[in-house]
Amino acid sequence: MQKVLQEDDVVHIGYDVFQVSGSNTNWVIIKDGDSCTLVDTGYPGDHDALLASLDAVGLSPRSVVAVLVTHAHNDHIGSAERLRLACDAPVLMHHEEVPHARRIHLNQVSTGQVLAQAWRPGVIPWAVHALRAGGKAHVPVLAPQALPAMDALDLPGAPVPIHTPGHTAGHSAYHLPDRGILITGDALVTAHPTSRRSGPQLLHDMFHTDRSRALDALEAIELVDAEVIAPGHGPAYRGLPKEAVALVRTRAEK
């Protein structure tokens, strides 16, 4: 099932930064003139919508200088390999995420875990939608590259990686200091079809490789200097990371 991009799926969240809503997941375009850094790529079924989102902000696939990966779940790397091959754009991630992206191992929610939670509102509709979007497709990145440093990268937007393990071992957030934006991937989200909550929260336990570690990783982002959070799922949050993290912790204790 291919996602069809709607006009309101592309949201301008800061200076030349756009959050795009795919099939219950987001990616971010960081524009710099006629080039860009792309953070995540949605599900395999979001490929056409991804290309349409680039066009919507005046870019093309050839504008992509690099793809930054928050983590290598199918709903975040669905088009990463296609872009690498078609556009010669390197796919970069924390070194601990490289084997996951290669599919040497797979840290992803299992069918059994989903079935065990099938009684929860929203789980079955989400699972059906995820399957149709390519959630169980085999989409390895064949030549992923480890981030050269955990400092500002020489890419459009000068993103700064922040290791936030727990959701997966190599999960990373990306800070855009000059634009006041923090891209959190699934370290912190603001909505999900399997949750009745809105606003800052963790995904359900079944989605995390190590939930305790995911909670601890919030320390790495709570004091980041940003005014907008772009999550992997849900709308952008306008507020300080410290405020968002405090709310996540409060909710996680209940």
Sequential pLDDT tens for the chain (254 residues): 788 899 899 999 999 999 999 999 999 999 999 999 999 999 999 999 999 999 999 999 999 999 999 999 999 999 999 999 999 999 999 999 999 999 999 988 888 898 898 899 999 999 999 999 999 999 999 999 999 988 999 999 999 999 999 999 999 999 999 999 999 999 999 999 999 999 999 999 999 999 999 999 999 999 999 999 999 999 999 999 999 999 999 998 76
Q: Give the helix/strand (H/E) hosting 151.
A: none
pLDDT at residue 4, as a whole number: 87
Tokens 């592309």, located at residue: 10
Confidence at residue 110, expressed as pLDDT on a 0 to 100 scale? 86
Q: Where are the alpha helices (DSSP H) in the chain?
A: 47-56, 74-77, 80-87, 98-102, 111-116, 123-133, 211-216, 241-252
Determine the pLDDT at residue 216: 97
Strands 35-39 and 91-93: unpaired
Query: Which parts of 96-215 are beta strand (E)?
Result: 145-146, 160-163, 172-176, 181-185
Bridge partners of residue 166, in order along the sequence: none
Residue 125 and residue 117: Cα distance in Å, rounded? 12
B/e letters for 34-51, b = 16+ CB within 10 Å, e = fewer, are eebbbbbbbbbbbbebbb
CA atoms of 16 and 18, how far apart (whole Å): 7
User: Which residues lie closer than 8 Å to 88 by C-beta, 6 or more apart?
Assistant: none
Find out whether 68 and 159 touch, Cβ atoms under 8 Å.
Answer: yes
Residue type, 77: I
- Supply the pLDDT for residue 15: 95
Tell me if residue 199 falls in helix, strand or coil: coil
pLDDT for 254 equals 62
